[in-house]
Chain A
Amino acid sequence: MSDTSSDAAPEAARDAAEDMAAGAKADVARRFIEQIPHAHALAMRIDQLGEGRAELSMPYDSRLVGDPRNGVIHGGAVSALLDTCGGTAVLSHPEGPAHTATISLRIDYMRAATPGQRLVARAECYHVTRSVAFVRATATDDDRGHPVATATGTFTADGGAE
């Protein structure tokens, strides 16, 4: 399968979830994300993590623009954030696997992200079987009431629950 972010540093994600509870939050999360070159290139940051839920965010960057006439971030960059956020949520699930990779990811784009604003993704791993983890996720900008994009994904879960 693929390649997500998440199988990047499986142990680190689990450790991150545990250590964060212990209090070293910012540091551990930063180390996890910095081990993923692509996440690092997009300047992603873990804002919340634990119990199958993850919140990741990414600053606006003119290099990620998909249409220079309006300065809107390309959908592909939103996908990268949602994919990473989904994989991170899987690894933080109490019954989640130690490694994961994206099987499939569907993204629905509701509206253009407002140029200049930070993008925030929230993902929830809502079910884990022996082989598969199921995820839903949402991306927003400063207007939290109106999502920029929503996603549903399936991820590998070797060594998961049941």
Chain B
Amino acid sequence: MSRAAPEPVQIVKQRRDAALSALVDGLPYARFLGISFDRRGDELTGVLGFHEALIGNPELPALHGGATAAFLEVTAIVGLSWAMIWDDLERGMLDAATLTPETLPRLPKTIDFTVDYLRPGLPRDAYARARVNRSGRRYASVHVEAWQDNRARIFAQATGHFLMPPRDG
């Protein structure tokens, strides 16, 4: 019995990074806010690069609660979509080389989103990770946490429910 040789690492990385780019490039609002994603295997970390337009309180100064909420929601949607396409991508059912924002599966739609503000967002980069707690055929529940300098010091968290896009079969 001989197993198929593992794919070269470059091929694997290219495929995954191309799919992630297609997903994130399809979100003009993520670009507007300055959000990018770091990938380690299937784990994504949202990065909100600090810029002045994110400020809500110039006196402190602190990030705007709306900017924080938006960062959490973008991270939740990208995290959920990524989990949704990962298996198809790895099984070769999605061809990353031809994926564009237009040919990707539709995005999940937010049903509700509840943000819990724990401390002021400082005027510097922020990071967030989403955890898909449940993802069924129609509904999903996602929790997302954001931090800045210190991973253990979360400054905001949220839970959202999402309507999954219709899938074939």
Chain A contacts to B: CB under 8 angstroms = 1-9, 35-42, 62-69, 73-77, 79-84, 87, 101-109
Contacts and interface: CB of A to CB of B under 8 A. Distances in A.
B20 interface: no
A94 B27 CA distance: 41
Chain B interface main SS type: mixed
Interface of B: 26-29, 31-33, 52-60, 62-71, 73-74, 77, 101-102, 106-107, 109-121, 155-156
B52 to A, nearest CB: 6
7 contacts: A1-B120, A7-B60, A37-B56, A67-B26, A76-B70, A77-B70, A107-B113
A66 B30 CA distance: 8
Contact of A7 (B57, B70, B73, B156): B57
Given A7-B57, A37-B52, A64-B28, A80 B64 contact: yes
Given A3-B117, A63-B29, A102-B117, A80 B57 contact: no
Contacts of A103: 116-117
B56 A106 contact: no
Contact of A65 (B28, B55, B155): B28
